[in-house]
């Protein structure tokens, strides 16, 4: 088995990875359909329909399909397309973020700058592998440029608050997310062509951590910050970290890491992702909405895209830089 895997070319290895991934998702979906059929025959007496648990499961499944598809397209079509794809996701989540952060007329030009200059520039920097500029472009240059444009609009009302919101939106939705495709372009010695594994490693580890945390939290009372999140407990958080870390070290063979390094990297990514998710929840509570997306009360009941990628937005930069410092790339 091992020698069979070794003998495959990097492309074949990645292809096999996706085949396994989609196979698992397919199995889970079939299980979901069977469960929903059973529930239709025995409807829940309280809700009269699908139980919240099954709904959660199906939401998670949709989420995973979406992510897997995005990564597959990104890998199959090459680095360029992956960067454009993540740029598009950035655009959509920034749109959701801005929609729920009331802006004033004076912010218009800053918003134009954020969407049509900052966002494309950041992804262009990833594309051209200007890693030094790409890590400081937003925190240093854009940090100054946005408030200058806002100040020129001559509207002092709630100035700090409006600019802080915009800065935050750009940091999370553009800066954070742009670190995912940047992983594709890191050059590890003897690991060329297989950076997709590193992206996969990051995503699967963070998602597993979130999932375990969510499942464990259901059995616990007394959340740490009940006004912000009903499901955040230190115990469930540690359980999530443990699961993510163990999975990370188990997957070390896919990555350029040794098992101990993989464990450390997975823990770093999980801690950043799950805490970042908590922070985004706090912002949602501040705006009084349960989900991002169309005014937070979409008729379809679907939550926004930002709900699905927020953990990744926080995990990716931390993971990216940890990898770069550790391996001096």
E strand or H helix that includes residue 55: helix 52-76
| Binding residue (CB under 8 A) for other proteins from 9, 128, 298, 326 | 298
CB of 298 closer than 8 Å to CB of 53: no
| Binding residue (CB under 8 A) for other proteins from 51, 55, 58, 103 | 103
Nearest distance from C-beta of residue 104 to other proteins, angstroms: 9
CB of 275 closer than 8 Å to CB of 238: no
CA distances, 232 to each of 206, 213, 217, 235 (Å):
16, 8, 7, 9
Q: Does 13 bind other proteins (CB under 8 A)?
A: no
Distance, in Å, from the CA atom of 115 to the CA atom of 12, rounded to the nearest integer, reads 37
| Binding residue (CB under 8 A) for other proteins from 293, 308, 313, 315 | 293
| Binding residue (CB under 8 A) for other proteins from 40, 108, 130, 258 | 108
Nearest distance from C-beta of residue 108 to other proteins, angstroms: 5
Stretch that binds other proteins, among 8-16, 31-39, 107-115, 132-140 (CB under 8 A): 107-115
Nearest distance from C-beta of residue 42 to other proteins, angstroms: 31
Q: Does 112 bind other proteins (CB under 8 A)?
A: yes
CB of 162 closer than 8 Å to CB of 150: yes
Nearest distance from C-beta of residue 169 to other proteins, angstroms: 12
Q: Provide the 3-class DSSP secondary structure of residue 191.
A: coil
Distance, in Å, from the CA atom of 25 to the CA atom of 19, rounded to the nearest integer, reads 10
Using CB under 8 A as the criterion, what x/- string covers residues 78-97 for binding other proteins?
A: -------------x--xxx-
| CA neighbor of 177 nearest in space, from 273, 289, 62, 256 | 273
Contact residues: other proteins, CB under 8 A: 91, 94-96, 98-99, 103, 105, 108-109, 111-112, 115-116, 293-295, 298-299
């Amino acid at each position: 088995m091992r020698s069979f895997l070794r003998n495959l070319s990097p492309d074949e290895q990645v292809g096999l990875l996706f085949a396994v991934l989609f196979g698992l998702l397919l199995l889970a979906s079939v299980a979901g359909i069977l469960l929903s059929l059973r529930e239709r025959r025995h409807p829940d007496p309280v809700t009269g329909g699908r139980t919240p648990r099954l709904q959660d499961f199906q939401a998670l499944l949709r989420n995973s399909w979406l992510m897997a598809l995005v990564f597959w397209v990104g890998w199959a079509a090459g680095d360029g397309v992956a960067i454009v794809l993540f740029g598009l996701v950035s655009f959509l989540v920034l749109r959701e973020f801005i929609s729920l952060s009331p802006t004033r007329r004076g912010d218009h030009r800053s918003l134009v700058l954020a969407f049509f200059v900052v966002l494309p520039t950041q992804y262009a920097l990833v594309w051209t592998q200007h890693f030094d500029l790409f890590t400081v472009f937003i925190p240093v240059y854009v940090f100054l440029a946005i408030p200058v444009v806002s100040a020129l609009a001559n509207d002092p009302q709630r100035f700090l608050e409006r600019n802080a919101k915009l800065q935050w939106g750009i940091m999370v939705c553009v800066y954070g997310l742009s670190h995912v495709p940047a992983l594709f372009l890191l050059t590890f010695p003897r690991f060329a062509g297989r950076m997709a594994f590193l992206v996969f490693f990051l995503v699967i580890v963070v998602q597993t951590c979130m999932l375990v945390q969510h499942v464990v939290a259901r059995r616990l009372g007394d959340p740490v910050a009940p006004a912000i999140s009903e499901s955040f407990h230190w115990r469930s958080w540690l359980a999530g970290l443990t699961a993510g870390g163990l999975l990370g070290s188990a997957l070390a063979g896919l990555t350029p890491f040794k098992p101990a390094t993989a464990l450390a990297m997975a823990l770093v990514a999980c801690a950043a992702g799950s805490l970042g998710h908590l922070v985004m929840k706090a912002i949602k509570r501040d705006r009084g909405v349960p989900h991002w997306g169309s005014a937070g009360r979409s008729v379809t009941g679907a939550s926004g895209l930002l709900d699905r990628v927020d953990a990744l937005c926080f995990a990716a930069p931390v993971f990216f830089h940890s990898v770069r410092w550790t391996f001096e790339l």
